[in-house]
Amino acid sequence: MAEADPEAARGILLRGAPGGEHWAHAAFSLSPAPLPGGLYPEFSEARRRADRVAAERTWLASLWTDRTTARWDLRFISDPASGRIDTVLIAQWYGADAAAAVRAARDGLPALARFPAHVTGARIEDTAEIERLLAPFVPGFGAIAEIRKRITCRTLTRLWGAERIATAVSRFDAPDPSWDRVWTQLAAEPRRTVVSVCLEPCSAPAGLAEGLTMRAQAFGTLAVPGPPDPIYGTPVPGDPFARVAHGLYEAAARRYAGRLHRARVSVAVEGDAPVSDVLTGLIGHTLAPTGSGAVVVRPQDREDHRVACGNLLGVNRDWQREAYWQEVPAFLRAVPSGQLWLSDPGTVAALADLVDADEAAAVLRLPHDEPGEPALFALKRRVPDTARHGAPTTGAGGVDTGWADFGPGD
């Protein structure tokens, strides 16, 4: 196994697996850049938001890579004592060995550090600090949840071959949403809370667009009235759910092509009390305000809880076998290939994780200030001139023992 050069690995946290592969982690402390005096405040809020969104989309597009497995975890960590939020970006790169992981990190860091002008980024060089930010606490059972795309499963009024059940996946349909209400609620939470947004760049799976197009056509056929009933002579009405599914699959076939991301949004609180319904509901409504396309899922058993904690503490995207399927019955979750068409579990699972450029921009929003509004983000991290070369030594909270069991996964 190749060893990483200690000098090249400075400021990079390495974590290995029994097979020899490694994950390299680097982190930045983020805070809103001060508004230019006498210039920006005179612009409208809509103009400022449009400029921020455009800059964030450009930055996110510059990070996309197909060279190696990479993930970016933007996490907001509340501090009830101060009423402020610490914001950190943790990047994770995969390597077949330690040296390869370090090389991937060094290659990816320059683009990552070119943050939009409304954000100040300070590289965190202390690997112990990165560990603390990865695991500010280990949530108890019930104290963690994820916001997912809604999966809807319905019995159709019309047959499609031998199939009578269909499944569709909604999308995050917010056009450039503001996260201000989410951040305000997070800062007011009485317990230390983490909101983690993870994106992983990927290409569209082979054959996905064609499969989605054919499904859209099938649902389009079921959505309109069919031939007259041979007994009663009246037209068979179109299926209402097929109309919804047709629109979703038709849009997915257009959108999920080329450069995409897989997404995960986690919310966790310190202790064993349940996650705030207000906070999770706000995030869901922010991402999908018009079509109820987001749903809050909570671990259904101890295995789901282990996976959910691993997703948060290890920057993972592992599948929760019970919670993620939502209302899909067990007999539709793993069926031999070719036996299903309208509820194919492989297609459903792929759509549940994928986001296009619009959805990625809605999910991952960097911190910012608004003139005249209360400051929500931690002042102690606002060091725009020196932080790019410095190394913060304090972080949000301590590390709970035993979190290594939730380390990086597939």
Reported confidence tier of residue 41, pLDDT bands at 50, 70, 90: low
Cβ neighbours of residue 85 under 8 Å, at least 6 residues apart?
76, 77, 78, 79, 183, 186, 187, 367, 376, 377, 378
The secondary structure of residue 199, as a DSSP letter, is E
Reported confidence tier of residue 151, pLDDT bands at 50, 70, 90: very high
Give the pLDDT confidence score for residue 8 in this predicted structure: 64
Cβ neighbours of residue 60 under 8 Å, at least 6 residues apart?
199, 357, 360, 361, 364
| 373 pLDDT more than 80 | no
End-to-end CA distance of the chain: 20
| 384 pLDDT more than 70 | no
Give the pLDDT confidence score for residue 286 in this predicted structure: 95
Cα angle value 129/181/368 (rounded, 5°): 55
Closest CA to 58 of 390, 337, 364, 334: 364
265/317 Cα distance (integer angstroms): 10
Give the pLDDT confidence score for residue 67 in this predicted structure: 74
pLDDT in tens, 81-134: 999 999 999 999 999 999 999 999 999 999 999 999 999 999 999 999 999 999
Angle between helices 277-287 and 180-188 (to 10 degrees): 170
For 35, 204, 281, 283, 351, the CA distances from 181, given in Å and listed in that order, are: 20, 33, 11, 9, 28
Rounded to an integer, the average pLDDT of 157-176 is 89
24/156 Cα distance (integer angstroms): 48
> Helix, strand, or coil here: 161?
coil
Length reported for the chain: 410
243/224 Cα distance (integer angstroms): 8
232/93 Cα distance (integer angstroms): 63
> Helix, strand, or coil here: 193?
strand
Mean pLDDT for all residues in the chain = 86
Beta strands in 184-237 (DSSP E): 193-203, 226-228, 235-236
| 42 pLDDT more than 60 | no
Closest CA to 141 of 305, 376, 351, 357: 305
Cα angle value 329/302/317 (rounded, 5°): 75
pLDDT in tens, 172-181: 998 878 999 9
Rounded to an integer, the average pLDDT of 290-298 is 88
- Judge whether 110 and 95 are in contact, CB under 8 Å: no
379 versus 267: the higher-pLDDT residue is 267
pLDDT in tens, 218-263: 999 999 987 776 776 677 889 999 999 999 999 999 999 999 999 9
Reported confidence tier of residue 388, pLDDT bands at 50, 70, 90: very low
Which amino acid is present at 144?
I
